Structure 1
Amino acid sequence: MAREKKPRSRGRRSPLAATALIGIGLLLTGGIYAGASAAMAATGDDSAASSTLTVEDGQKLFQANCATCHGMDLQGSESGPSLYGVGELSVHFQVSTGRMPLQAQAPQAPQKPVQFTEEQTAAIAAYVQSTSPGPTYPSDEVLDGDGDLAHGAELFRINCAMCHNVAGAGGALTEGKYAPSLHTTSALNIYAAMVTGPQNMPVFNNLNLTPEDKRDVISYLMYQQETPSPGGFDLGSLGPVSEGLFIWVFGIGSLIALTVWVTAKAN
């Protein structure tokens, strides 16, 4: 008698099918959420970039971060000087380099990580300028780096090299003070330092250095920043002291090591 065949059940699914469907659903959901989040973030960044802080915003930032030392009306205090007449250029230099707000009293304010964004810095500078006008930003031509390099190098050696080193590497001064390195200083802050004279820096007005002279000096320093040392290792660009130390340690050290090796071989 022929065995009766049982009909195969239709619609039976694998035990892993449910797990696969759940995984696919989670991937689709996550992808949609990530795309929507990225789109919202991009929209938020565009709106933030398009917004501009006002002088009133700069006043609030100043009162919250600077007035403790410089006074609510820029009049100064025992902890900080008056800001009457310093102008927006000085504020930009001090804040954009992280020197202000000051962490602690010291012989001079060190450069440190910047606390404010460029927009906030500009707002604080605009507030100070509106309250007590002073030196302001130069034209773009002064900062373009296309000045006379040879003339700029000559002016730098005459007026600046005794403190900042002929290569702009900086140097020590008296009473714990120092001239900072200029290897990473922006063109605008180089100009600001010449015009406002921060800390130990003398002020170079247009009678000392004309705008064309300042442009040449800035061009020379920008060239120094962008051009690698033609002699190889610059050793900090500190001159014969570091070079002599290098020769003493590695040159004479190598000769001594070679002498010891030859003597050991002979024995």
Structure 2
Amino acid sequence: MASVALIAIGLLFTGGAYAMFSTSTARAESDLSSQQTIDEGKKLFAANCATCHGLSAQGSGNGPSLIGVGAASVDFQVGTGRMPMQMNGPQAQKKPVQFTEEQTRALAAYVASLAPGPGLPDASLLDAQGDAAAGGELFRINCAMCHNVAGAGGALTEGKFAPALTGVTEAHIFEAMVTGPQNMPVFNDANITPEGKRDIITYLKYLENNPSPGGFALGSLGPVSEGLFLWIFGLGAVVAVTVWITAKSN
């Protein structure tokens, strides 16, 4: 009887765990493909996005076509608050999110149903447990010229800029790489493999979670901020000491 009870308990826990896992997996897979979600996204799109992007997302003079951009682009733009845009400018600014996570998913489902495009990244690529050293090398080769070697961001032309990458979720970093928002190029799997993207995320999260070993990072902007610091405080200290010595000698 004890053996039977143990087997029954084991089967109960195993079955419950499998049911929970399969349900959550099925929900994650079906969220973007269910007609109900797509219909909800279509309603949200018509009420909030069609003014600029057209009723069928075909684009207009106020906004580009969204046909073929995929769910990843919608999740990034809406999930970071860049869309809907607050005002016209060189590029969309990050701001508080206007939609709930469920509404964002619905919008992504609708746009994804219009034409094939980059989908939402797999959770296994977002754990920030890859190779930070390899990610750092990839980041310096492909990203540092705009985002700075430490991900601190940088200025571009005509009022545009590469934003700082601190505080950005792993999913949004991945989605930015595969969709190329704003002035950013698209890094498809031929440019950087999914594992390489995972390594880049790992590198960025390592930088974010570990303090600068050299002391004050000064914004991690490199020799410009360091030289400015020395010019103001170093040279200022020399001038102050010179004035003090001169005053004492008189």
Which of the five TM-score ranges fits, normalised by the shorter chain? 0.7 to 0.9
Look up the match of 1:200: 183
Residues 1:118 and 2:101 aligned together: yes
Look up the match of 2:116: 133
Looking at structure 2, the residues matched to 135 and 234 of structure 1 have their Cα atoms a distance apart, in angstroms, of: 36
Residues 1:211 and 2:230 aligned together: no
Equivalent of 2:133 in 150, 166, 173: 150
Cα displacement string for residues 41-73 of structure 1 (whole angstroms, at most 9, x for unaligned residues): xxxxxxxxxxx9833322222111101011111
Looking at structure 2, the residues matched to 131 and 208 of structure 1 have their Cα atoms a distance apart, in angstroms, of: 26
Cα displacement string for residues 115-169 of structure 1 (whole angstroms, at most 9, x for unaligned residues): 1122221121122122333111122121111111111000100011111111111
Q: How does 1:32-181 map to 2 (within 5 A)?
A: 54-181=37-164
Letter in 2 for 1:55: I
Residue pair 1:55, 1:123 contacting (<8 A) in 2 also: yes
Look up the match of 1:28: none
Look up the match of 1:226: 209
For residue 152 of structure 2, give the secondary structure of its aligned residue in structure 1.
coil
Letter in 2 for 1:158: I
Look up the match of 1:251: 234
The TM-score with structure 2 as length reference comes to 0.82
Once the two structures are overlaid, the 10-residue window that deviates more, 52-61 or 241-250, is 52-61
Residue pair 1:164, 1:180 contacting (<8 A) in 2 also: yes
Look up the match of 1:12: none
Look up the match of 2:170: 187
The TM-score with structure 1 as length reference comes to 0.77
For residue 232 of structure 2, give the secondary structure of its aligned residue in structure 1.
helix
Cα displacement string for residues 83-105 of structure 1 (whole angstroms, at most 9, x for unaligned residues): 10111110010011111111222
Look up the match of 2:6: none
Looking at structure 1, the residues matched to 45 and 160 of structure 2 have their Cα atoms a distance apart, in angstroms, of: 27
Matched positions, count: 216
Looking at structure 2, the residues matched to 129 and 112 of structure 1 have their Cα atoms a distance apart, in angstroms, of: 24
Residue pair 2:53, 2:65 contacting (<8 A) in 1 also: yes
Larger radius of gyration: 1
Task: Name structure 1 gaps, 5 residues minimum.
Answer: 1-51
Letter in 1 for 2:143: C
Looking at structure 1, the residues matched to 222 and 167 of structure 2 have their Cα atoms a distance apart, in angstroms, of: 19
Looking at structure 2, the residues matched to 227 and 146 of structure 1 have their Cα atoms a distance apart, in angstroms, of: 15
Cα-Cα RMSD? 1.5
Q: CA deviation at 1:213?
A: 0.8
Once the two structures are overlaid, the 10-residue window that deviates more, 83-92 or 247-256, is 247-256
